[in-house]
Amino acid sequence: MLLVARQAAAEPWPAPAVNGLADDAWGRAVRLGRQLTVATPGLIGPEVADPARRFAGNNLSCQNCHLNAGTGKFALPFVGAFADYPQYRAREGEVRTIEDRINGCMTRSLNGRELPLDGPEMQAIVAYMKFLSTGIPVGAKTLGRGTAEVPLLDRAADPTRGAAVYAQTCAVCHGADGAGKRNGIAGDAKGYTFPPLWGPDSFNDGAGMARLITSVGFIHGNMPVGTTWQNPALTIDDAWDVAAFVQSQPRPHMEGLDRDFPNRLQKPVDAAYGPYPDQFSQDEHRFGPFQPIKDAVRRLTHATGQPADPIKWADSTKQ
């Protein structure tokens, strides 16, 4: 992990700026894509004046998860994402496009409905993601993608201990009730200065951020605001426990989650909803410890003769 961190620190980060783009169709599309990323509630949120434009079901912005307009290293960046698609997606069990991936965020993280594939919003977001992947070859590994890796605990993450960490470190921005801090007032479509972490205006239980390992990596490398993955503010144990506290709180439910990951052996061990391919409980899948689950799934995968590479497995099922 330290070697990866050193490599990521030394490698130039290819995140081009939109300011230099011409005022033509391409430049306008890219700039709109960036605006949709930053000011999502005011353009497609549930409080915008035109009901036809209310695609998001909450008042989060895309950059609440994809920090710095999708350019933050180890902050779930868009940089390099365009070059990854089409790709096999274990959640759907098939090859999906970048548009499918964006609509996954729309229905899960933004708890809303899909953008029309031929609509200006979808075209603009795709254009922005393509622009941020300028010069990155298809299949290239971009150090800084996703979140920084955090070591697994040899115990279950502790939501009770995490509540104390939250009260001391997180509540000042996100509120003691997890409801965040608005830019204005409810109904003005201005979104949040600090987003809600649970409750009715947060991401739903099908979102990637509702998985503990994902949220721990994000929190440890980026929170509180101003933290960097190179100089985390929280200890590893504190990050795990506060993430567990946040995950233990109520949030909107997404219907049909039982259809996710049709090949159960490809299901992430921290998916907080069943069915599972193993005998571990839902609480163990929510809070860990995760290494015993990983080991069990590895044994089950080996016993079935499935290739470790999900693309090879998907191809083999079509023969």
Q: Dump pLDDT digits (tens) for 101-158.
A: 999 999 999 999 999 999 999 999 999 999 999 988 887 888 899 999 999 999 999 9
pLDDT value of position 110: 98
Domain boundaries, the chain: 15-132, 159-247, 257-317
pLDDT value of position 160: 98
State how far the Cα of 271 lies from the Cα of 254, in Å rounded to an integer. 13
Q: One fold for both 15-132 and 159-247?
A: yes
pLDDT value of position 16: 84
pLDDT value of position 8: 55
pLDDT value of position 285: 98
CATH no. of 159-247: 1.10.760.10
| Greatest Cα pair distance in the chain | 58
pLDDT value of position 14: 77
pLDDT value of position 259: 97
Q: Which residues, 6 or more positions from 297, have their beta carbon under 8 angstroms from its beta carbon?
A: 265, 269, 277, 278
Please identify every stretch of the chain with a pLDDT value under 50, giving residue numbers as ranges. 1-3, 6, 10, 311-319
Burial 179-192 (b: 16+ CB within 10 A, else e): bbebbeeeeebbbb
The answer as to CATH 1.10.1270.20 being correct for domain 15-132 is no
